Amino acid sequence: MSTGELAKAFLAVEPTMAQRLVRAKRKIVEAGIPYRVPPAIHLARTLVRLMRSRWDHALIAEGVATLEEALAMWRSRPYQVQAAIAACHTTVYAELARLAPSPVVDLDRAVAIAMAEGISAGLALVDELAESGRPDGYYLLPATPADLLHRKGHLTEAAAAYEEALELAPTDAERRYLKARVHSL
């Protein structure tokens, strides 16, 4: 992945990302760590372990127990469970936005709200985010409403938003995915 692609993925400008990479490489050398890129699967497992090590496992267990207790009180049907999941997602994303605000979290929250409260509600949040200019040039900003508009049946608007996202997508894999979405309309 190029420095420019990394910068776009982290919503940073290329010179800033280049400086971060230089500092990281210097720290690796100073620490005497062998400089090699681990296999992708090893890297992914390491990242997951690092993220999970910061979780509050007691609080998670309490939440799971509360959810299991609530589910036992009512007769579950598939749509009820899907609605409960969507409602949980909106609550969790609201808390994540409070703790670690970022345009990426805001977009994820908009999708969760679209699934729980309706696509129009999610699109309204995406519009607010776009108007704020915070994730300017970020390809998922137009890709998110493209998907929501597609789900709503507004195919012409969805295609235009996918095309905009395609212009901003930083990697070939993301461009291939977006082209496939456009062609699926």
Evaluate whether residue 148 is within a structural domain.
no
Q: Across residues 155-180, what is the average pLDDT? A: 93
Q: Across residues 49-70, what is the average pLDDT? A: 76
Evaluate whether residue 139 is within a structural domain.
no
Evaluate whether residue 123 is within a structural domain.
no
Q: Range of 13's domain?
A: 1-37
pLDDT exceeds 70 at position 41: no
Token couple for 160: 């235009």
HEC readout, the chain: CCHHHHHHHCCCCHHHHHHHHHHHHHHHHHCCCCCCCCCHHHHHHHHHHHHHHCCCHHHHHHHHHHHHHHHHHCCCCHHHHHHHHHHHHHHHHHHHHHHCCCHHHHHHHHHHHHHHHCHHHHHHHHHHHHHHCCCCCCCHHHHHHHHHHHHHCCHHHHHHHHHHHHHHCCCHHHHHHHHHHHHHC
Q: What is the mean pLDDT of the chain?
A: 84
Evaluate whether residue 178 is within a structural domain.
no
What's CA 20's distance to the chain center, in Å? 22
Evaluate whether residue 27 is within a structural domain.
yes
Per-residue model confidence (pLDDT) at position 42: 63
Per-residue model confidence (pLDDT) at position 167: 93
Evaluate whether residue 1 is within a structural domain.
yes
Per-residue model confidence (pLDDT) at position 66: 78
User: How does residue 43 score in pLDDT terms, banded at 50, 70 and 90?
Assistant: low
Evaluate whether residue 18 is within a structural domain.
yes
Per-residue model confidence (pLDDT) at position 111: 92
Total count of domains within the chain: 1
User: How does residue 160 score in pLDDT terms, banded at 50, 70 and 90?
Assistant: very high
Evaluate whether residue 94 is within a structural domain.
no
pLDDT exceeds 90 at position 31: no
pTM: 0.63
Q: Across residues 137-156, what is the average pLDDT? A: 93
User: In terms of pLDDT, which residue wins out, 46 or 111?
Assistant: 111
